[in-house]
């Protein structure tokens, strides 16, 4: 399990208040095409100069200022999400309330990596079931799929169980994936290529288990197209992947119109990004447990002062204005590699 990570943070200041966001891109383009180095350059030279010193009525207006730029949704999301936090704090309301959320706690699950064998898989699942998590997600790959799923389902016949393939399969593996229909999975997540919808639609026609679209949905338009051609029946919403809260809310609304549930995916965020995810998850169509499990599963010391810990599979929504969390500045000072400021 990964326990350390480079975390880009962005702090926007306005009217004596600050909003904070977190970048979820990595050093290498492993999940999407964006990288930390590229994102920092864009923020420094392109995005922030169009925002700093300007007045915006709301984060949607800020989005318009960046609307002429293509792609780079994770970098743009850093600016947009910090603006949402800033605006909510200026108004003195929780971020979730501003987004249209209705919950004071959200259901959470866990994502478990590939284990050495079936016995180890069952053991790690048991530990997390005993902790009360409301969904268990197993990572799978060709050659390691039916075996761990069968062992887990036999040991835990009643748990909500899903699998995540991280684009490891092709249509040639349809028979192998069809075997998973026997195990009452809530969904199979992104089994095919990261930028594909058509092959997912073909695969979905061959399966009774719903497919969950992740990497292949980067906008509400992608969600509409994917659901219209029946490429899946569930969508994993990752705020940064779609460019921020406003677009995440539009993805939520499109999925709701199609009758497709959504859930909030995780990108191994610190408490900053985790708090944003929790607030987004308060929207009504987030009806499946998300990847917003306890921060202590990952970090010995978090970047925020407030603990974000689930109890019996429920994560309380941080109280207070904005995301409801504050930076652990003493710890940040001890681990920061780079600090830059821009002024308008």
141 is catalytic: no
DSSP string spanning 112-165?
Answer: EPPPSSHHHHHHHHHHHHHTT-S-EEEE-BTTBSHHHHHHHHHH-TTS-EEEE-
Tokens linked to 212: 């969950």
- State residue 30's pLDDT score: 87
Consecutive sets of 10 residues in the chain, 344 residues long: mean pLDDT of each? 81 95 93 92 95 93 91 96 98 97 96 96 97 97 97 98 97 97 98 97 98 97 98 98 97 98 95 98 98 90 95 96 97 91 83
Find, among 78, 15, 96, the residue nearest to 321 by Cα: 96
103 is catalytic: no
Torsion angles phi and psi, residue 304, rounded to 5: -120, 160
- State residue 3's pLDDT score: 61
Query: Any residues with CB less than 8 A from the CB of 110 and at least 6 apart, and which?
Result: 128, 133, 135, 136, 137, 291, 293, 297
- State residue 186's pLDDT score: 98
Helix and strand numbers, DSSP H then E, in the chain: 13, 11
Do 302 and 327 form a contact (C-beta atoms < 8 A)?
Answer: no
Among 103, 137, 139, 225, which one carries the catalytic annotation? 139
- State residue 8's pLDDT score: 96
* DSSP class of 39: H
The model carries a pTM of 0.95
- State residue 340's pLDDT score: 87
SS (H, E, C) 185-205: CCCEECCCCCCCCHHHHHHHH
Among 103, 137, 225, 238, which one carries the catalytic annotation? 238
């Amino acid at each position: 399990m990964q326990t350390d990570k480079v975390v880009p943070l962005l702090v926007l200041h306005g009217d004596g208040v600050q909003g904070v966001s977190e970048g979820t891109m990595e050093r290498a383009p492993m999940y999407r095409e964006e990288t930390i180095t590229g994102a920092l350059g864009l923020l420094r030279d392109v995005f922030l100069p169009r925002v700093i010193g300007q007045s915006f009525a709301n984060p949607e207006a800020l989005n318009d200022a960046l609307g002429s730029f293509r792609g780079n949704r994770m970098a743009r999301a850093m600016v947009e999400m910090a603006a949402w936090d800033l605006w909510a704090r200026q108004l003195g309301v929780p971020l979730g309330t501003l987004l249209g959320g209705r919950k004071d706690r959200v259901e959470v699950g866990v994502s478990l990596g590939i284990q050495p064998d079936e016995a180890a898989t069952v053991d790690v699942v048991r530990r997390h079931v005993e902790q009360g998590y409301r969904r268990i997600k197993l990572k799978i790959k060709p050659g390691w799929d039916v075996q761990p799923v069968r062992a887990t389902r036999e040991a835990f016949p009643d748990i909500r169980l899903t699998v995540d393939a991280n684009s490891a399969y092709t249509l040639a593996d349809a028979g192998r994936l069809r075997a998973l229909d026997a195990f009452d999975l809530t969904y199979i997540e992104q089994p095919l290529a990261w930028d594909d919808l058509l092959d997912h639609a073909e695969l979905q026609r061959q399966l009774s288990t719903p497919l969950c679209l992740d990497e292949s949905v980067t906008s509400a338009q992608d969600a509409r197209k994917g659901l219209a051609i029946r490429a899946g029946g569930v969508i994993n919403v990752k705020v940064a992947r779609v460019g921020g809260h406003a677009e995440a809310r539009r993805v939520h609304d499109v999925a709701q119109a199609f009758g497709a549930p959504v859930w909030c995916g995780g990108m191994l965020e610190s408490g900053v990004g985790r708090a944003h995810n929790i607030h987004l998850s308060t929207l009504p169509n987030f009806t499946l447990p998300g990847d917003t499990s306890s921060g202590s599963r990952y970090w010995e010391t978090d970047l925020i002062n407030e603990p974000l810990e689930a109890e019996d599979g429920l994560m309380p929504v941080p109280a207070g204005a904005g995301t409801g969390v504050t930076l652990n500045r003493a710890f940040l000072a001890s681990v920061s590699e780079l600090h830059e400021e821009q002024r308008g």
